[in-house]
Amino acid sequence: MDIKERMTMEDGNYLYCIIGTDEARNFGTIGIGGRGDIVSTIGYEGVSCVASRSPVADYAVSRENLLTHQKVIEEVMKDHTVLPVRFSTIAKSPEDIRGLLRKRHTEFIGLLKDMDNKIELGLKAVWKDMGTVFRDIAERHDEIKRLKERIGSGPKGKTYLDSITLGKMVESALQGKKEAAAELILFGLRDISFDIRVNKLHGDSMILNAAFLVDRVNAKEFDVRVQNLDRKKNGDMALRYVGPVPPFNFVNIAVEWN
Protein backbone atom coordinates (compact mmCIF):
# COMPACT_ATOMS: atom_id res chain seq x y z
CA MET A 1 0.00 0.00 0.00
CA ASP A 2 1.53 3.32 -1.02
CA ILE A 3 1.37 6.59 0.91
CA LYS A 4 -1.64 7.96 -0.98
CA GLU A 5 -3.61 4.78 -0.36
CA ARG A 6 -2.90 5.04 3.39
CA MET A 7 -4.26 8.59 3.61
CA THR A 8 -7.80 8.83 4.89
CA MET A 9 -10.42 11.53 5.20
CA GLU A 10 -9.36 11.86 8.86
CA ASP A 11 -5.86 12.92 7.85
CA GLY A 12 -4.76 16.47 8.52
CA ASN A 13 -1.38 18.21 8.45
CA TYR A 14 1.20 18.07 11.22
CA LEU A 15 3.10 21.37 11.63
CA TYR A 16 6.84 21.47 12.37
CA CYS A 17 8.04 25.01 11.76
CA ILE A 18 7.66 28.27 9.85
CA ILE A 19 10.28 29.37 7.29
CA GLY A 20 10.81 32.50 5.21
CA THR A 21 9.96 31.31 1.70
CA ASP A 22 6.84 30.32 -0.19
CA GLU A 23 8.72 28.15 -2.69
CA ALA A 24 7.64 24.52 -2.89
CA ARG A 25 10.09 22.24 -1.10
CA ASN A 26 10.13 18.49 -0.40
CA PHE A 27 12.22 17.44 2.59
CA GLY A 28 11.65 13.70 2.14
CA THR A 29 9.62 10.94 3.74
CA ILE A 30 10.60 11.83 7.30
CA GLY A 31 7.21 12.77 8.76
CA ILE A 32 6.12 11.94 12.29
CA GLY A 33 4.13 8.76 12.95
CA GLY A 34 6.28 6.21 11.10
CA ARG A 35 4.09 6.11 7.97
CA GLY A 36 6.71 7.54 5.62
CA ASP A 37 4.75 10.76 5.07
CA ILE A 38 6.41 13.44 2.95
CA VAL A 39 7.47 16.62 4.72
CA SER A 40 6.90 19.63 2.47
CA THR A 41 5.98 23.32 2.45
CA ILE A 42 2.61 25.03 2.39
CA GLY A 43 3.21 28.66 1.50
CA TYR A 44 1.64 32.10 1.53
CA GLU A 45 3.28 35.38 0.42
CA GLY A 46 6.89 34.76 1.35
CA VAL A 47 6.40 32.42 4.32
CA SER A 48 5.67 28.71 4.56
CA CYS A 49 4.72 26.13 7.10
CA VAL A 50 6.69 22.90 6.93
CA ALA A 51 4.18 20.07 7.40
CA SER A 52 3.35 16.46 6.67
CA ARG A 53 0.14 14.44 6.42
CA SER A 54 -0.96 13.08 9.77
CA PRO A 55 -4.00 11.71 11.57
CA VAL A 56 -5.90 14.46 13.40
CA ALA A 57 -5.02 13.19 16.88
CA ASP A 58 -2.81 14.14 19.80
CA TYR A 59 0.67 12.59 19.69
CA ALA A 60 2.01 11.03 22.87
CA VAL A 61 4.87 12.93 24.45
CA SER A 62 7.31 10.08 23.84
CA ARG A 63 11.03 10.13 23.12
CA GLU A 64 10.42 8.79 19.61
CA ASN A 65 7.84 11.43 18.72
CA LEU A 66 9.77 14.31 20.24
CA LEU A 67 12.95 13.25 18.43
CA THR A 68 11.14 12.98 15.10
CA HIS A 69 9.66 16.45 15.58
CA GLN A 70 13.11 17.85 16.37
CA LYS A 71 14.93 15.98 13.60
CA VAL A 72 12.55 17.28 10.95
CA ILE A 73 13.19 20.85 12.11
CA GLU A 74 16.95 20.19 12.19
CA GLU A 75 16.77 19.00 8.58
CA VAL A 76 14.91 22.15 7.55
CA MET A 77 17.30 24.45 9.41
CA LYS A 78 20.22 23.25 7.28
CA ASP A 79 18.92 25.64 4.61
CA HIS A 80 16.47 27.95 6.37
CA THR A 81 15.91 30.08 9.45
CA VAL A 82 13.19 28.25 11.40
CA LEU A 83 10.45 29.19 13.83
CA PRO A 84 9.60 25.95 15.66
CA VAL A 85 5.91 25.15 16.08
CA ARG A 86 4.77 23.55 19.33
CA PHE A 87 4.84 19.75 19.40
CA SER A 88 1.65 17.96 18.27
CA THR A 89 0.11 20.92 16.42
CA ILE A 90 -2.17 19.59 13.66
CA ALA A 91 -4.29 21.43 11.11
CA LYS A 92 -7.32 19.85 9.52
CA SER A 93 -6.40 21.09 6.04
CA PRO A 94 -3.84 23.05 4.00
CA GLU A 95 -6.42 25.84 3.80
CA ASP A 96 -6.31 26.16 7.60
CA ILE A 97 -2.52 26.48 7.43
CA ARG A 98 -2.70 29.18 4.76
CA GLY A 99 -5.25 30.96 6.94
CA LEU A 100 -2.78 30.83 9.85
CA LEU A 101 0.02 32.23 7.67
CA ARG A 102 -2.25 35.00 6.42
CA LYS A 103 -3.54 35.93 9.89
CA ARG A 104 -0.11 35.99 11.55
CA HIS A 105 1.94 37.02 8.52
CA THR A 106 3.38 40.21 10.06
CA GLU A 107 4.27 38.37 13.28
CA PHE A 108 6.06 35.56 11.44
CA ILE A 109 7.96 37.95 9.16
CA GLY A 110 9.17 39.88 12.21
CA LEU A 111 10.23 36.76 14.09
CA LEU A 112 12.05 35.39 11.05
CA LYS A 113 13.97 38.66 10.81
CA ASP A 114 14.84 38.51 14.52
CA MET A 115 16.02 34.90 14.24
CA ASP A 116 17.82 35.25 10.91
CA ASN A 117 21.18 33.44 10.90
CA LYS A 118 20.93 32.59 14.60
CA ILE A 119 21.33 29.22 16.27
CA GLU A 120 20.63 27.78 19.70
CA LEU A 121 23.46 26.24 21.70
CA GLY A 122 22.86 24.41 24.96
CA LEU A 123 25.19 24.12 27.93
CA LYS A 124 24.79 22.16 31.14
CA ALA A 125 27.26 22.16 34.01
CA VAL A 126 27.32 19.59 36.82
CA TRP A 127 29.60 18.89 39.73
CA LYS A 128 31.29 15.52 39.47
CA ASP A 129 31.63 14.76 43.19
CA MET A 130 29.01 16.11 45.57
CA GLY A 131 30.91 14.77 48.57
CA THR A 132 33.72 17.20 47.80
CA VAL A 133 31.22 20.03 47.30
CA PHE A 134 29.55 19.45 50.68
CA ARG A 135 32.93 19.17 52.45
CA ASP A 136 33.96 22.49 50.91
CA ILE A 137 30.73 24.10 52.14
CA ALA A 138 31.35 22.82 55.66
CA GLU A 139 34.93 24.12 55.66
CA ARG A 140 34.04 27.56 54.30
CA HIS A 141 31.05 28.27 56.58
CA ASP A 142 32.03 28.44 60.23
CA GLU A 143 28.43 28.31 61.48
CA ILE A 144 27.75 25.11 59.53
CA LYS A 145 31.01 23.62 60.77
CA ARG A 146 30.19 24.39 64.41
CA LEU A 147 26.65 23.04 64.12
CA LYS A 148 27.94 19.79 62.57
CA GLU A 149 30.37 19.39 65.44
CA ARG A 150 27.63 20.03 68.02
CA ILE A 151 25.35 17.46 66.39
CA GLY A 152 28.18 14.96 66.22
CA SER A 153 29.03 15.32 69.92
CA GLY A 154 25.48 15.73 71.27
CA PRO A 155 23.29 12.99 72.76
CA LYS A 156 21.13 11.00 70.35
CA GLY A 157 17.57 12.24 70.11
CA LYS A 158 18.52 15.71 71.33
CA THR A 159 19.79 17.10 68.04
CA TYR A 160 16.70 16.76 65.83
CA LEU A 161 16.03 20.50 65.53
CA ASP A 162 19.73 21.19 65.01
CA SER A 163 19.75 18.67 62.16
CA ILE A 164 16.81 20.44 60.48
CA THR A 165 18.58 23.78 60.87
CA LEU A 166 21.79 22.33 59.48
CA GLY A 167 19.98 20.94 56.45
CA LYS A 168 18.47 24.34 55.67
CA MET A 169 21.83 26.07 56.10
CA VAL A 170 23.59 23.62 53.80
CA GLU A 171 20.81 23.95 51.22
CA SER A 172 21.15 27.73 51.27
CA ALA A 173 24.93 27.56 51.00
CA LEU A 174 24.69 25.10 48.13
CA GLN A 175 22.30 27.41 46.27
CA GLY A 176 24.71 30.31 46.73
CA LYS A 177 27.61 28.20 45.51
CA LYS A 178 25.62 27.16 42.43
CA GLU A 179 24.65 30.73 41.60
CA ALA A 180 28.24 31.93 41.89
CA ALA A 181 29.58 29.11 39.70
CA ALA A 182 26.81 29.60 37.13
CA GLU A 183 27.44 33.34 36.93
CA LEU A 184 31.13 32.74 36.17
CA ILE A 185 30.13 30.55 33.23
CA LEU A 186 27.49 32.98 31.98
CA PHE A 187 29.87 35.95 32.31
CA GLY A 188 32.24 34.37 29.82
CA LEU A 189 29.51 33.78 27.22
CA ARG A 190 27.04 36.62 27.68
CA ASP A 191 28.72 39.18 25.40
CA ILE A 192 28.55 36.94 22.31
CA SER A 193 24.96 35.80 22.91
CA PHE A 194 21.88 37.63 21.66
CA ASP A 195 19.79 36.05 24.39
CA ILE A 196 20.11 33.46 27.17
CA ARG A 197 17.48 31.24 28.75
CA VAL A 198 18.40 29.76 32.14
CA ASN A 199 16.25 26.68 32.63
CA LYS A 200 15.28 24.60 35.65
CA LEU A 201 18.02 22.67 37.43
CA HIS A 202 17.64 18.98 38.19
CA GLY A 203 19.28 17.55 41.31
CA ASP A 204 21.89 18.88 43.71
CA SER A 205 24.77 18.40 41.29
CA MET A 206 23.47 20.54 38.40
CA ILE A 207 24.90 24.06 38.40
CA LEU A 208 23.63 25.45 35.12
CA ASN A 209 21.10 24.45 32.47
CA ALA A 210 21.08 27.18 29.85
CA ALA A 211 20.34 27.85 26.19
CA PHE A 212 22.16 30.54 24.23
CA LEU A 213 20.95 32.29 21.08
CA VAL A 214 24.07 32.94 19.01
CA ASP A 215 24.77 34.36 15.57
CA ARG A 216 26.24 31.69 13.29
CA VAL A 217 29.33 33.85 12.73
CA ASN A 218 30.06 33.66 16.47
CA ALA A 219 29.59 29.88 16.75
CA LYS A 220 33.34 29.09 16.57
CA GLU A 221 34.18 31.75 19.14
CA PHE A 222 31.48 30.33 21.42
CA ASP A 223 33.03 26.86 20.99
CA VAL A 224 36.46 28.20 21.92
CA ARG A 225 35.14 29.88 25.05
CA VAL A 226 33.35 26.72 26.19
CA GLN A 227 36.58 24.77 25.65
CA ASN A 228 38.47 27.34 27.73
CA LEU A 229 35.88 27.06 30.49
CA ASP A 230 36.23 23.30 30.35
CA ARG A 231 40.01 23.57 30.83
CA LYS A 232 39.63 25.96 33.77
CA LYS A 233 37.15 23.89 35.77
CA ASN A 234 39.95 22.01 37.61
CA GLY A 235 38.34 18.60 37.18
CA ASP A 236 35.49 19.24 39.64
CA MET A 237 32.87 20.11 37.01
CA ALA A 238 31.58 18.47 33.83
CA LEU A 239 30.28 20.57 30.94
CA ARG A 240 27.75 19.12 28.49
CA TYR A 241 27.56 21.16 25.31
CA VAL A 242 25.08 20.58 22.49
CA GLY A 243 24.14 22.36 19.27
CA PRO A 244 23.31 23.85 17.01
CA VAL A 245 19.70 22.85 17.63
CA PRO A 246 16.37 24.46 16.68
CA PRO A 247 15.70 27.55 18.83
CA PHE A 248 13.00 25.90 20.96
CA ASN A 249 13.94 27.98 24.00
CA PHE A 250 13.49 31.26 22.17
CA VAL A 251 10.62 30.61 19.74
CA ASN A 252 7.76 28.16 20.21
CA ILE A 253 4.84 28.99 17.95
CA ALA A 254 1.55 28.08 19.62
CA VAL A 255 -1.54 27.79 17.41
CA GLU A 256 -5.19 27.96 18.38
CA TRP A 257 -7.52 26.97 15.56
CA ASN A 258 -10.78 28.89 15.34
Per-residue pLDDT band at 40 (split at 50, 70, 90): very high
pLDDT at 232: 75
Is-contact 188 196, C-beta < 8 A? Answer: no
In this structure, how many other beta carbons lie within 10 angstroms of the beta carbon of residue 66?
A: 15
Q: How high is the pLDDT of residue 9?
A: 44
Could you tell me the residue ranges of all domains in the chain?
Answer: 3-116, 120-245
Instruction: Look at residues 47, 162, 171 and name the one whose alpha carbon lies nearest to residue 97.
Output: 47
d(CA 215, CA 194): 7
| pTM of the shown model | 0.81
Region of poorest pLDDT, from 13-27, 92-106, 146-160, 187-201: 146-160
CA torsion 98-101-103-108 (nearest 10°) is: 180
Distance CA 231, CA 236 (A): 11
Condensed to tens digits (0 to 9), the pLDDT of residues 128-172 reads 888 888 888 777 776 766 666 666 666 665 566 766 776 677 778
82 touches 6 (CB < 8 A):
no
The predicted structure's pLDDT at residue 65: 94
CA 119, chain centre distance (Å):
12
pLDDT reading at 7 higher than 60? no
Range with lowest mean pLDDT among 8-17, 144-153, 228-237? 144-153
Q: Range with the lowest mean pLDDT among 3-12, 16-25, 100-109, 184-193?
A: 3-12
Is the confidence at residue 239, as pLDDT, over 50? yes
Q: Give the CA distances from residue 223 to residues 24, 112, 179, 192, in Å, rounded to whole numbers and listed in that order.
A: 35, 25, 23, 11
- Average pLDDT (31-54) is 94
Residue 31 vs residue 172, higher pLDDT = 31
What per-residue confidence (pLDDT) applies to 164?
74
